[in-house]
Amino acid sequence: MTTQLQTKPVTIITGFLGAGKTTFLNELLMAEKKGKYAIIENEFGKESIDGELVMEISDNIFEMSSGCLCCNLNEDLVDLLIDLSKKSGNFEELIIETTGIADPSSVALPFLIDPLVSRYYQLQRVICLVDARNIAHELATTEEARKQISFSDVLLISKTDLVTPEELATLQTLLKDINPFAVILSGTKEHFPHQEIMAYTRNQSEHYNGEEQTKEKHHHSLSSLTLTFDEPFDIPKLKHTLMVFMAVQSADIYRVKGIVYGFGETEKFVLQSVAEYLAIAPGKPWEDGEVKRSKIVLIGKNLKMKGFEQLLSHALYAAPGEGSESF
C-alpha cells in the first residue's frame, strides 16, 4: 500500500521595496512557535541583509543570493525546494520572501507545473505588502508593482497610520478595482492581522470584491477587465480559447482569474493563470438558490474591453444543432 504524502503549505510574500515584507515576516515568526516555518529569503545581490534580520528569530532559514527569483522557472529555487523536501520533518509550512523587484507569478510557477515540487508542496496564498504612502507612485512608474498587486491573493496595506482615513479609503477602492479577487487588509508599521491573513487560501473561490456587471477600468497603463456571463460555458472550449489567447497575449497579461459556470456542472469552476500556464478546476458546489453566473477578470497592460467579451462568448455552451462560430 502506497503512503500518501502530506504536502507542505506554501506562502509567498511579495511587495515593492520598503513596503514592510521583512517586518511582517518577523512579526509572524515571533507570534508562532519556533520551528513551524522554513523560510526562503531571496536577496538581489551578494550581501544578505533581510536574511540577517530574520535570522535572529528563525534558525530554519535558507538564502538565495545568487540572483532574483524572477525567471520563468528558476532552477535554483526548484533544486532548493527538492532539497528542503528531504528535511520536511523540521518544519510545518514554507514561506518565501521575494525581493522587491520580483514577479511573484514566476516564483509560484514551480508549485503549479513541476510534478516533483507539487508532490511535496501546495501553494496556499500570495501576500503582497502595499505601502500606503508610496504605492500610487510605484504603480505609475514600475511594472513590478503592478504585477505584484495583480497576482496576489491577499493585499496587505502597510503604514496605514501614516495616511489619512480618506487616503486609505481611496487606496482600498483602487486596489479593489485592480484585483477584485484579492482580500484587502490593513496594518500599521507595528502590527499586522496575522491570523486573518494566514487563514485565507487562494482556493476560496467564492471571494470576489468586484463589479457584478461587465466593467472596464484603467489606472495608469494597468487595465482590469471584469466580464460576466449568465449563460454556461463549455469548459473544454473555454480552456482552449484562453490558452490560445494567452499564448498570443502573454506579454500583456498579468493575471486571469475567475469563477466559471460550466454547463451541466454542479460545482463552480475556478479559473487561474500563472504566466502562460492556465488551470480550470472544479471548486465548491453551487448553493441552493445561488445565481449561477461566470465572473472572469483579466489584469494586464493597456487591455481594451472590445473583443474580449466576443472572444469568450465563442466558448459558451451551444446545444447540438445550434452550432457556434469558431474564432
- Of 199, 228, 253, the domain-final residue: 199
Contact by Cβ (8 Å): 276, 247: yes
Query: Is 147 contained in some domain?
Result: yes
Predicted TM-score of the model (pTM): 0.83
Number of domains in the chain: 2
Counting beta carbons within 10 angstroms of the beta carbon of residue 235, is it exposed (0 to 12), middle (13 to 18) or buried (19 or more)?
A: buried
* Tens of each residue's pLDDT in the chain, 327 residues: 444 568 999 999 999 988 999 889 888 888 877 778 899 987 654 444 454 555 455 557 887 755 555 554 577 888 889 998 887 778 899 999 998 888 898 899 899 888 999 999 999 999 999 999 999 999 888 888 999 999 999 999 999 999 999 999 999 999 998 898 899 999 876 688 888 898 888 765 455 555 555 556 655 567 888 899 999 999 999 999 999 888 887 778 888 999 999 999 999 999 988 877 888 989 899 999 999 999 999 888 877 777 788 899 999 998 776 654 444
Alpha-carbon distance 34 to 28, whole Å? 11
Query: Is 258 contained in some domain?
Result: yes
Q: How many CA atoms lie within 13 A of 302 on its CB side?
A: 4
Same domain, 143 and 192: yes
Same domain, 251 and 184: no
In this prediction, residue 321 carries a pLDDT of 64
- Of 199, 227, 260, the domain-final residue: 199
Alpha-carbon distance 155 to 247, whole Å? 28
In this prediction, residue 150 carries a pLDDT of 92
DSSP 180: T
Query: Is 210 contained in some domain?
Result: no
Query: Is 161 contained in some domain?
Result: yes
Query: Is 247 contained in some domain?
Result: yes
Same domain, 160 and 295: no
Could you list the residue range(s) of the whole structural domain that residue 276 is in? 215-313
CATH number of the domain that 239 lies in?
3.30.1220.10
Alpha-carbon distance 300 to 255, whole Å? 7
Query: Is 2 contained in some domain?
Result: no
- Of 199, 228, 259, the domain-final residue: 199
In this prediction, residue 1 carries a pLDDT of 43
Give the list of residues 6+ apart from residue 47 with CB closer than 8 angstroms, or none.
65
- Chain centroid to CA 246: 17
Same domain, 84 and 220: no
In this prediction, residue 55 carries a pLDDT of 47
Same domain, 186 and 287: no
Query: Is 269 contained in some domain?
Result: yes
Same domain, 247 and 178: no
Same domain, 144 and 274: no
Alpha-carbon distance 205 to 122, whole Å? 16
In this prediction, residue 295 carries a pLDDT of 93
Same domain, 188 and 245: no
Is residue 79 classed as helix, strand or coil in its secondary structure?
helix
Same domain, 89 and 65: yes
Same domain, 193 and 220: no
CATH number of the domain that 121 lies in?
3.40.50.300
Same domain, 146 and 245: no
